C-alpha cells in the first residue's frame, strides 16, 4: 500500500520531503510532480526499483530513462558537456526540457541507451521536485508517468494513488499537475535535434516547429 503524501506546491513541508526521501533510499519507487507532469522516480543505483518502473510503464531495456538533477553542476557530473552544449543548457534549465547527452562513467550502463551510451537529463523548476532533489543529495532516476495504453499522463495525485497504490511506495501530491511531457532535445550531434515536442519551447535551442 502506497503512502499518500499531500504537500504544499510552493512551500513543501520538510517533514513530508524527508519521508519521501527515506522511501527512495529504502529502495522505493515514488510518484512526484514536475512542472510538466507527474513522474516515477527511484534511486539511481537501485536495479530492483528500476525494474519496477519498467513494469509499471511496460517498457523494455531500450527505454530512455532520465536523470533529474538539482542543477547544471550536478548534471555535468553525469554527462559529457562541452561549451556549446553548456550554453544551451544554461538558457533552457531549469525548465520542462530533457536533453540527451553522452553519459559519463558515473551512470550505470543499465540505464544508458544500449548502443549509444547516452542518457536523458533534466533540471526541473518545480518546487517540490527541487526540494526532493536537495534532500536526496543526488539525481533521481525518472520516467514520465505515462501509463500503458494512455496518451497523456494522469493529472491528479489522488487518482494515481488509487490506481497505483499496490505498485508504488509513495505518491507525493502537490495538487493538479500538468498532462504534458518534457520537450526532448538530442545534443550529441553538432546541431540540436528535436526528438519530442512537449511543454518546453524548442526555440531555446534554435529549433522551430514545422
d(CA 19, CA 106): 26
Cis peptide before 149 (omega within 30 of 0): no
* Domain assignment of residue 210, yes or no: no
Whether 21 is in a domain gets the answer yes
The residues that bridge with 140 in the sheet, in sequence order, are 43, 68
Q: What is the CATH number of the domain that holds 45?
A: 3.90.870.10
**Is residue 176 domain-resident?**
yes
Mean pLDDT of 142-151: 91
Q: Does some domain include residue 158?
A: yes
State phi, psi for 125 to the nearest 5 degrees: -100, -5
Longest dimension (CA), the chain: 47
Q: In the prediction, which pLDDT does 109 show?
A: 79
CA distances from 76 to 25, 49, 111, 119, 179 (A): 23, 24, 17, 12, 29
Euclidean distance between CA atoms 138 and 152, whole angstroms: 28
List alpha helices for the chain, DSSP H. 14-25, 47-57, 72-78, 83-92, 127-136, 157-164
- Count, residues in the chain: 210
Residue span of the structural domain in which 27 resides: 3-205
Residue 87 has pLDDT above 80, yes or no: yes
Question: What's the pTM value of the predicted model, to 2 decimals?
Answer: 0.93
Domain-embedded: residue 193: yes
Count of domains in the chain? 1
User: What does the pLDDT look like over 19-30, one tens digit per residue?
Assistant: 999 999 999 999
In a domain, 136, yes or no: yes
131 within a domain of the structure (yes/no): yes
Q: What is the pLDDT of residues 93-111, one digit of tens each?
A: 999 999 999 998 888 877 7
| Confidence band for 16, pLDDT divided at 50, 70 and 90 | very high
Alpha-carbon gap, residue 126 to 35, rounded angstroms: 5
Amino acid at each position: 500500500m502506497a503512502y499518500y503524501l499531500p504537500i504544499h506546491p510552493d512551500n513543501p513541508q520538510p517533514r513530508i520531503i524527508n519521508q519521501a526521501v527515506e522511501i527512495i533510499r529504502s529502495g522505493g519507487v515514488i510518484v512526484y510532480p514536475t512542472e510538466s507532469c507527474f513522474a516515477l522516480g527511484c534511486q539511481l543505483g537501485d536495479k530492483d526499483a528500476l525494474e519496477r518502473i519498467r513494469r509499471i510503464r511496460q517498457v523494455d531495456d531500450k527505454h530512455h530513462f532520465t536523470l533529474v538533477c538539482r542543477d547544471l553542476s550536478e548534471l555535468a557530473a553525469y554527462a559529457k558537456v562541452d561549451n556549446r552544449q553548456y550554453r544551451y543548457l544554461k538558457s533552457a534549465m531549469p525548465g520542462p526540457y530533457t536533453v540527451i547527452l553522452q553519459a559519463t562513467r558515473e551512470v550505470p550502463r543499465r540505464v544508458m541507451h544500449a548502443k549509444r551510451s547516452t542518457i536523458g537529463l533534466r533540471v526541473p523548476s518545480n518546487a517540490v521536485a527541487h526540494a526532493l532533489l536537495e534532500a536526496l543529495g543526488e539525481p533521481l532516476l525518472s520516467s514520465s508517468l505515462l501509463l500503458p495504453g494512455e496518451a497523456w499522463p494522469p493529472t491528479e495525485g489522488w487518482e494515481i494513488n488509487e490506481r497505483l497504490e499496490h505498485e508504488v511506495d509513495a505518491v507525493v501530491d502537490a495538487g493538479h499537475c500538468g498532462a504534458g511531457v518534457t520537450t526532448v532535445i538530442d545534443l550529441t550531434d553538432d546541431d540540436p535535434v528535436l526528438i519530442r515536442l512537449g511543454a518546453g519551447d524548442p526555440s531555446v535551442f534554435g529549433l522551430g516547429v514545422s
